[in-house]
Amino acid sequence: MSTSLEKIVALCKRRGFVYQSADIYGGLNGVYDFGHLGFLLKQNIKRYWIQSILTTQPNILFMDGAILGPHAMWEASGHTQNFHDPLVDCTNCKRRFRADDIDLAKVCPVCGKKAWTEIRQFNMMFKTNLGAVADESAIAYLRPETAQSIYVNFKNIISTNRVKIPFGVAQIGKAFRNEITPKQFLFRMREFEQMEMEWFCKPEETDKYFPEWVNARQEFYTTLGIKKEHIRLHPHAKEELSHYSSRTTDIEYEFPFGWKELEGIADRGDFDLTQHSKHSGKDLAVYDDEAKKSYTPHIIESSVGVDRLFLTLMCDAYTEDVADGEERIRLAFSPRVAPIKVAILPLVKNLSDSARKIYTHLASHGLMLDFDESGSIGKRYRRQDEIGTPFCLTYDFQSQEDNAVTIRDRDTMQQERVSTDQILEYIMRRLV
Ligand code: GAP
């Protein structure tokens, strides 16, 4: 991995991809806001994720569940008992650490003393109370995964959609985890977004679908332009499995801080539907017309964080090279995910009106654009290279004579003269 996390963080801040949340109040640890370019990049990530899920299997439905869930639901899911990390305190400087993040045989990395407490388990769910009632019925939690709202709606989904097993339900939404030590920027946050897909199938079909989903999910990352050699699979050993999983394969990415999980594909078996049936008293089994018996469907899940994938794309695209004898930073995004597709650059300000017409035309076709009329053309190219814009379109004096513009490719820096009535077709062809 050629870049460092510090460079990525600096670029995200400098160009307004990501802001520390509540920065003017000192910031909130593990919580980030996304600026204009960050918003656009996230939108593209979500769009291609949806496309990829829809083209992997037929019968995919969507939903948008609530973030708050009642105590009883998280009891049933096993999260109140099992969703914790090992915590240790330094009694000298009062800092908290994840016990598996540090070497307890050594001194505290902050104060240099060796004064550790016993390791205890820290539940990572954010707990709150609904309304003014103080008893247990009012306790709710911010969801630590989006998946549970799909499971508890299983009967609603079946009865309101004409679907039969096998089918999938996909969801994109916020999740919250009170991480002991949020770190590595967008890698481990306290508030983040997940893209999850729950595939409901017959128990005997999990062995067929599990590898199919793993392959499809791995392929997704190459379609986003991520380098193949930076992606690998990591099948979990028994002791690594979450409480709900009977088998899991992670898709790992080689981040500047090492190989880490990007996405998890888990065989959750009938754990979730069985638990919710037991705890709610509502039968979540389905009837098999052929076998003439009821059974509880099994679930294969794929789950990836939008923000973690955002960081992955930034790391993978970050490039330093030399252009026209000058050092430049270039985000070599695939044109699919690039936040801005085309920058419109009038050579001088009094060509802006004509260039604006091209801007309006391209924008009316849904293209995300930037209009930049300040500074030398070289400087403007550098600015666009740094945010990953694949095409720069220059409107010059000759454009008024020949009705053509120059389009420069971010990576090759080659320039082509394109007639104004061909621009849209030219760009669309190169964006796929
Ligand atoms: N429903 C299954 C589930 O939540 P997970 O492995 O705990 O499984 C799935 O999380 C994905 O969510 C991870 O692979 C990662 O991409 C993302 N994720 C998890 N915790 C995160 C955090 N604290 N910050 C950012 N992304 C996170």
Report CA(198)–ligand 1 centroid distance (Å): 15
Q: How many helices (H) and strands (E) does the chain have?
A: 13, 24
Residue-wise pLDDT for 42-74, tens only, equals 999 999 999 999 999 999 999 999 999 999 999
Distance from C-alpha of 305 to C-alpha of 46, rounded to nearest angstrom: 10
- The whole-number pLDDT of residue 1 equals 57
> Which residue, chain included where needed, has tokens 């799909």?
150
- Contact 302/217 with Cβ under 8 angstroms? yes
Distance from C-alpha of 342 to C-alpha of 427, rounded to nearest angstrom: 8
Report CA(305)–ligand 1 centroid distance (Å): 6
Residue-wise pLDDT for 397-424, tens only, equals 999 999 999 999 999 999 999 999 999 9
As given in the structure block, the two tokens for residue 415 are 């320039």
Q: What percent of the chain has pLDDT over 90?
A: 95
As given in the structure block, the two tokens for residue 117 are 């407490």
Mean of the pLDDT values across residues 272-300?
97
Which atom of ligand 1 lies closest to the CA of 309?
16
Is-cis flag, bond preceding 144, omega within 30?
no
Report CA(194)–ligand 1 centroid distance (Å): 7
Coil/strand/helix, residue 353: helix
Residue 370 has pLDDT above 60, yes or no: yes
- Contact 62/170 with Cβ under 8 angstroms? yes
Residue 107 has pLDDT above 60, yes or no: yes
Which helix (DSSP H) or strand (DSSP E) does residue 70 occupy? Answer: strand 68-70
Report CA(324)–ligand 1 centroid distance (Å): 42
- Contact 248/264 with Cβ under 8 angstroms? yes
Give the pLDDT band (50/70/90) at residue 393.
Answer: very high
- For ligand 1, atom 1: residue with the closest CA: 145
- The whole-number pLDDT of residue 2 equals 66
Cβ neighbours for 204, distance < 8 A, ≥ 6 positions apart: none
Q: What percent of the chain has pLDDT over 70?
A: 100
Nearest C-alpha neighbor of 345 from the set 424, 414, 407, 427? 407
- For ligand 1, atom 4: residue with the closest CA: 145
As given in the structure block, the two tokens for residue 203 are 């128990």
Distance from C-alpha of 224 to C-alpha of 49, rounded to nearest angstrom: 9
Main-chain phi, psi angles of 49, to 5 degrees = -65, -45
Cβ neighbours for 108, distance < 8 A, ≥ 6 positions apart: 90, 92, 93, 95, 114, 115, 116
Distance from C-alpha of 33 to C-alpha of 345, rounded to nearest angstrom: 29
- The whole-number pLDDT of residue 432 equals 81
Exposure string for 41-70, b = 16+ CB within 10 A, e = fewer? bbebbeebbbebbeebbeebeebebeeebb
Give the pLDDT band (50/70/90) at residue 137.
Answer: confident
Distance from C-alpha of 140 to C-alpha of 128, rounded to nearest angstrom: 5
- For ligand 1, atom 6: residue with the closest CA: 264
- The whole-number pLDDT of residue 55 equals 97
Residue 382 has pLDDT above 90, yes or no: yes
For the CA atoms of the chain, what is the radius of gyration? 25
Residue list, ligand 1 pocket, CB within 6 Å: 145, 147, 177, 179, 188-189, 192, 194, 196, 261-264, 301, 303-305, 307-308
Give the pLDDT band (50/70/90) at residue 25.
Answer: very high
Name the residue of 184, 303, 304 to mutate for ligand 1: max ligand atoms within 8 A of Cβ: 303
Mean of the pLDDT values across residues 19-34?
97
- For ligand 1, atom 26: residue with the closest CA: 305
Residue-wise pLDDT for 205-258, tens only, equals 999 999 999 999 999 999 999 999 999 999 999 999 999 999 999 999 999 999
Give the pLDDT band (50/70/90) at residue 262.
Answer: very high
Residue-wise pLDDT for 187-202, tens only, equals 999 999 999 999 999 9
> Which residue, chain included where needed, has tokens 């500047």?
256
Distance from C-alpha of 1 to C-alpha of 258, rounded to nearest angstrom: 9
CA 289 to the chain's CA centroid: 39
- The whole-number pLDDT of residue 323 equals 85
Cβ neighbours for 326, distance < 8 A, ≥ 6 positions apart: 378, 382
Is-cis flag, bond preceding 70, omega within 30?
no
Residue 428 has pLDDT above 90, yes or no: yes
Residue 91 has pLDDT above 90, yes or no: yes
Which helix (DSSP H) or strand (DSSP E) does residue 174 occupy? Answer: strand 167-176
As given in the structure block, the two tokens for residue 345 are 């650059």
Distance from C-alpha of 224 to C-alpha of 45, rounded to nearest angstrom: 8
Distance from C-alpha of 395 to C-alpha of 227, rounded to nearest angstrom: 34
Q: How many CA atoms lie within 13 A of 79 on its CB side?
A: 25
Mean of the pLDDT values across residues 425-432?
94
Distance from C-alpha of 43 to C-alpha of 54, rounded to nearest angstrom: 17
